[in-house]
Homo-oligomer: A and B are copies of this chain.
Amino acid sequence: MRIDRAAVYDLLAEYGALIDMMKFDEWLGLFAEECRYQIVPRENFDRGLPAGLVFCDSRAMLEDRIRALREANKYNIHTDRHIIGLPRICDNGRRIDAPFTVFQTDQEGETRLFATGLYRDRLEAAGGRLKIRDKLILLDTFAVPSLLATPL
């Protein structure tokens, strides 16, 4: 697969923006029909431990997860802001690594660092568009600072 750099950058920008705007249906549309979405603490990943915080291996499962998150979100009202750094295009474009941070703002208006980590994405071209086939989110901490109420 010949990598289209602009399309990769756009996909990452859209990924963060759609979560931040709480457009979760459009966000789901960024994933391929057959996809995987995982959140794994980096420490576990480095040690080869399989235990993740979230594991979805189909889009249906990811949809369920999002529905549950939305429910949880009612008790943890906040907004997100994703800042995604310049991505690294690895393995001839078969893998994209992009560092990210997420800030959350609560109802009192306080903004806090919520999470930092690395997106490790495998993409596929489907119908003239890039889609996420496999998203591995390596979270820098095993101690998620508060209820995980929106996708990372």
A-side interface residues toward B, CB under 8 Å? 5-6, 9-10, 12-14, 16-17, 20, 42, 79, 81-89, 97-101, 103, 105, 108-113, 115-118, 140-143, 145
- In contact, A6 and B5 (Cβ under 8 angstroms): yes
- Bound-state Cα–Cα, A143 to B110, Å: 7
Copies per complex of this chain: 3
Q: Which of B20, B112, B113 contacts A103 (CB 8 A)?
A: B113
- Bound-state Cα–Cα, A84 to B145, Å: 23
- Bound-state Cα–Cα, A103 to B103, Å: 13
Closest B residue to A105 by beta carbon equals: B140
Q: Which of B88, B97, B108, B141 contacts A110 (CB 8 A)?
A: B141
- Bound-state Cα–Cα, A83 to B113, Å: 13
- In contact, A86 and B84 (Cβ under 8 angstroms): yes
- In contact, B109 and A115 (Cβ under 8 angstroms): no
Q: Which of B13, B79, B113 contacts A86 (CB 8 A)?
A: B13
Closest B residue to A108 by beta carbon equals: B143
- In contact, B141 and A81 (Cβ under 8 angstroms): no
Interface centre among A16, A105, A112 (most CB of B within 10 A): A105
Contacts of A140 in B (CB 8 A): 79, 81, 103, 105, 111
A-B contact pairs, 18 of them (CB 8 A): A5-B6, A10-B89, A13-B88, A13-B97, A16-B86, A16-B99, A17-B88, A17-B118, A42-B79, A79-B140, A81-B116, A81-B118, A83-B116, A101-B103, A103-B116, A105-B116, A109-B142, A111-B140
